[in-house]
Amino acid sequence: MPATNKSILARFLIWRYKHISPKAFIYMLSLLIGLLTGLLAVAMKNVTFYIGLVLEGLVSLSKNSIYFVTPTIGLFLVYLVLTYFFKRKKVEHAIPSILRSLAKRAGIMGTGKIYLPLATAPLTVGFGGSVGLLGPAVAAGSAMSSTLSRLLHLEAKTRVLFIGCASAAALSSVFKSPIAGIIFAIEVFSLDLTFASLIPLLLSSVSALITSYFFLGDDVLFNFQLQEKFMINDTLFYVVLGVGTGIASIYFTKMYFAIMKYFERWKHPLKRLLIGGIGIGIMLYFIPPLYGEGFSFINNLLKGDHLTAIGTNPFDRFVDNIWVVIALLIGITIFKAVAMTATFAAGGSGGIFIPTLVMGSALGNVVAKVINNIGLGFNVSEINFTLVGMAGLISGVIHAPLTAIFLIAEITGGYELFVPLMLSSAISFLITKNTLDYTIYTRELAEKGELLTHDKDHTVLTIMKLDSVIEDNFVALNPNMTLGEMLHEGVAKSSRNLFPVVNENNELQGVLLLDDIRGIMFDISLYENVYVEELMNEPPDLIFYEQDDMKAVMQKFQDSGAWNLPVIKDGKYAGFVSKSKLLTAYRRKLINFTS
């Protein structure tokens, strides 16, 4: 930053400390973060819209044949932007990268992550990549809020709160659902909700909503008002839908990881790009609703127009048969997960939230159509089942049942469907949670022990760093030292009663306590005849710097009953961790985290 800009910033910060209270300043910044995140989301949506508008005429002229090449073109453009402008090897998935920064970097995100989603996500989605824009909008807003926090020298817990504000603002702006935005930030990012944190989340969410209304007017993604009320006689069918969305959520998650693993066999990004792009193109040709985010597909289902929803496809002459329509909708349900994952695996940029809604809407509509056409005289609302199916998939796939319930409630402009939403979302969540411990967002982080949760104890241990509790002011002994040498060169020069024993390569051989030699340390006759290697003991356990997280370290102290454990780094002795220092650091971190 130029010296002049630094001077201006310094003067502003001094003025702020004198005239604006910390609480008021946080509220003001929350409004600003909502405004900026809303602008980022609107810009991303508009760029994607205009790319799609340009391609729309080509699709009509080619009778869908252009779908064979558009995803590959989009992915190739993303590759060029990523490689030559941002100097990166691959696109980071939005939500997992944010969760990692919260767990391991105290919410610090690179400034480049503000611009990267703005460039890559519209190219991916606009050219047919079957992913959503919400994840990139959350990532861009979070990176912007992190950069702003660092620029203004705000502490780590405020930076984490502002990332939550940005995520709430992104969902509020995209769906015009401010309450769902707040709940999304709490459920997905495991924010510790207090009254102090609720106000900034509210301000950001409302600010983003107003920004969206200002630039987009009253237009909403789902232009729909609920017409049919929940009928108590349909309760059992909503239970069936809940079970179906739970099973579909498991399929969605397992398919994601299976396809990602399959693409790992091709190391070169261009090879993955070509294979993924061609595969997506083939799917788009036969199932056009898989193109892009899929909001028009959902809207047409909500209007009751399933023929427009499924679009022009090779099976047009058979769509007069309702069972062919059902089969095509089942195909959308199955292949949306495949097309979305192939887009990610091939190097595309996007999110999973909106594809999950598309898949859920198709599944809900299928269940309703089957019930209405099996000839048993039942008649359920296909529109209501479409909406509840969306909530069920969100609840199951990202383990966010409250977000799902309030999102659909706000989309429909009321709470008439609250009972079936709660019922189906709860069933879907329970089935998925009891089958899969982690989501697409969290599995990789959980396997590395880097996942933040609502468990404060686990969260504090996750964000603690081993370096902060390692002590290295111990006098090391050589195993070949005599008792006399050890007393003169070790005990006499140390304020500790513990000594690591290391060889010439600084490899730990054992440990020696002052208590171990107290009975012989004044016997001069032993000074030349007894050696350190005869006196040392095996440590009760070892802490391995590269592989042990703080939770494992705490467990080792609990299991061994030791007060000090040696740390091994790159095979060498690196110091000790004491239980007292570890517990003191834990207590301080817990107080700071929960204050």
The reply to whether 261 and 324 lie within a common domain is yes
In this predicted structure, what is the pLDDT of residue 468? 80
Are 45 and 72 part of one and the same domain? yes
Q: Are residues 443 and 471 in the same domain?
A: no
- Work out how many domains the chain is built from and give that number: 3
Q: Are residues 119 and 39 in the same domain?
A: yes
Whether residue 547 sits in one domain with residue 429:
no
Q: Are residues 347 and 432 located together in one domain of the fold?
A: yes
Same domain, 525 and 419: no
Distance CA 170, CA 181 (A): 7
Question: What does pTM read for this prediction?
Answer: 0.77
Rounded Cα–Cα distance for residues 177 and 233 (Å): 30
The distance between the two most distant Cα atoms of the chain, rounded to a whole number of Å, is: 105
> Is residue 110, in this structure, part of any structural domain at all?
yes
At which residue do the structure tokens 């008002």 appear?
A: 225
Q: Work out the burial of residue 366: count CB atoms within 10 Å of its CB; fewer than 13 is exposed, 13-18 middle, 19 or more buried.
A: buried
Given a contact cutoff of 8 angstroms between Cβ atoms, the answer to whether 253 and 401 are in contact is no
Q: Same domain for 304 and 359? A: yes
Determine the pLDDT at residue 394. 94
The closest alpha carbon to 335, from 291, 389, 382, belongs to 291
Residue 4, in any domain of the structure: no
Q: Provide CB contacts within 8 A for 427, sequence distance 6+.
A: 239, 242, 243, 245, 246, 392
Residue 221 lies in a domain: no
Q: What are residue 502's DSSP bridge partners?
A: 508
The answer to whether position 122 is within a domain reads: yes
Write b or e for each residue in 136-147: b if 16 or more Cβ atoms lie within 10 A of its Cβ, otherwise e: bbbbbbbbbbbb
Residue 164's SS3 state is helix
- CATH code for position 140: 1.10.3080.10
Q: What local confidence, expressed as pLDDT, does residue 461 receive?
A: 61
**Contact status, residue 401 vs residue 184, Cβ threshold 8 Å:** no
Q: What residue numbers bound the domain in which 576 lies?
A: 458-594
Contact 188, 194 (CB under 8 A): no
Q: pLDDT tens string for the chain (595 positions)? A: 555 666 777 777 777 777 788 888 899 999 999 999 999 998 998 898 888 888 877 766 666 678 888 899 999 999 999 888 888 877 777 788 888 777 777 778 888 888 898 889 999 999 988 898 998 999 999 999 999 988 888 887 888 889 989 999 999 998 888 899 999 988 887 766 666 678 899 999 999 999 988 877 655 566 666 777 888 888 999 999 999 999 999 999 999 999 999 998 888 888 999 999 999 999 988 888 898 888 889 888 888 888 888 877 777 777 788 898 999 999 999 999 999 999 999 989 988 999 999 999 999 999 999 999 988 888 898 999 999 999 999 999 998 899 999 998 888 776 788 899 999 999 999 999 999 878 888 777 666 665 555 555 566 666 677 778 888 888 888 888 888 888 888 788 877 888 898 898 888 888 888 887 877 877 787 778 888 888 888 888 998 988 887 788 888 888 888 888 999 998 899 889 888 888 887 777 766 655 5
Shared domain for 449 and 464, answered yes or no, is no
CA distances from 527 to 76, 400, 476, 484, 520 (A): 74, 68, 18, 4, 9
- Give CA–CA dist 66/399, Å, rounded: 37
40 and 115 co-located in one domain? yes
471 and 421 co-located in one domain: no
Residue type at 549 in one-letter notation:
D
In this prediction, residue 63 carries a pLDDT of: 65
Q: Are 472 and 532 in the same domain?
A: yes
